[in-house]
Every structure is written in C-alpha cells, then in structure tokens.
C-alpha cells in the first residue's frame, strides 16, 4: 500500500484545499496519532482536521484516487459555513453560542460514551473469544474421538470392498 499512498501524496502535493500526508506513529508523530484514535497501522483518516474520520475503502491506488477526488475538498464546518445546508448552519450556530466550558464538558461526555462502548465491546469480545476457544476444543476432541474409533478403517474397508466390483465392471 505504501507505494500507492506515496503516489497519491505526490499527486496532491501543493493542492490548495486538500492535504494527503503520512505520519510516523511510532516516533515523533505518536501524540498526533494517539489524539486521533490511531490504534493499528496503516490507518487512513480523512475529513476536518479537528474531527477526523476513519477511511474504510479499498487500498489500491485507483480506490484511493477515486475517494480523494470525491471527498478531499472543502466541506461544511465552522470555517466553511457557506458550504453547509440550513440544518448544519443552525447546529453550528447553536454550538458556537454555547458556553465554552459547557461545550467542552459535552464533548468529554460524548467521548466518555464512546470509550464506554469500546470497553463494553472489548469485554464482550473477550467472553466470546473464550467461548469460541472452548467450542473449538470440544469440536476437536469430538472429531478426534470419532476418528480414533475406527472411522479411517471403516472407510478403507468400504473402499477395498468396492475395488473388486469396479474391476468386474471393467471386464
């Protein structure tokens, strides 16, 4: 994927309204990656720099180019309010009118809700993983028991009994 990403970065170099770049999340870029929820590599984020979203599309150069041409452009935001529909404008104005402390508290509350959902998911996933492992062991033991009970010999006997009949049919 790296060569395709590098080609896309080169294509967008110096673009007046879009930035395509990369960050080394294992070095000095780690704080930036942490603050934007980057947990695995490679991760592609897009959108308003203050509210980046995860890219879930294809990773080929053609997929990346198509996405970039359709999405990497100015979009509705407080700094581009003229690009917003009436509903978004009203929401932005409502949020801008709020007390900053109240707005920050609301953001923290929403982020805490997301963190709680992630924690709940991880907890349930661990339970599911343990159940999967138990079921896998049970299945493997059952299959081993069946095979050990002579299944292979049974199949060999059936196959060898069929051989003379097949030879008679050929004559």
Find the CATH number of the domain harbouring 46. 3.40.30.10
Of 9-18, 80-89, 104-113, the least confident: 9-18
% of the chain beyond a pLDDT of 70: 95
Helix (H), strand (E) counts: the chain: 6, 2
Rounded to an integer, what distance in angstroms lies between the CA atom of residue 112 and that of residue 35?
Answer: 14
Q: For residue 157, what are the domain limits?
A: 98-171
Residue 162 has pLDDT above 80, yes or no: no
Q: How far apart are CA 6 and CA 136, in angstroms?
A: 43
58 within domain boundaries: yes
Q: Is residue 90 part of a domain?
A: no
User: Is residue 85 situated within a structural domain?
Assistant: no
pLDDT category at 131 given cuts 50, 70, 90 is very high
Quote the number of domains for the chain.
2
Give the tens place of pLDDT for each residue, 32-81: 888 888 888 888 888 877 788 888 889 888 998 898 888 888 888 898 89
């Amino acid at each position: 994927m790296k060569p395709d990403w590098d080609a896309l970065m080169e294509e967008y170099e110096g673009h007046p309204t879009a930035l395509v770049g990369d960050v080394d999340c294992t070095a000095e870029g780690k704080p930036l990656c942490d603050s934007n929820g980057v947990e695995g590599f490679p991760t592609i984020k897009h959108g308003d720099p203050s509210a980046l979203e995860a890219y879930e599309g294809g990773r080929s150069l053609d997929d990346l180019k198509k996405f970039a041409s359709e999405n990497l452009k100015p979009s509705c935001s407080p700094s581009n309010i003229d690009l917003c529909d009436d509903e978004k404008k009203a929401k932005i104005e409502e949020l801008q009118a709020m007390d900053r402390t109240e707005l920050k508290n609301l953001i923290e509350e929403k982020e805490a809700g997301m963190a709680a959902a992630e924690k709940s998911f991880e907890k349930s996933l661990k339970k599911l993983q343990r159940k999967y492992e138990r079921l896998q062991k049970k299945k493997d033991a059952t299959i081993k028991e069946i095979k050990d009970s002579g299944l292979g010999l049974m199949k060999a006997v059936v196959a060898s009994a069929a051989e003379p009949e097949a030879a008679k049919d050929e004559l």
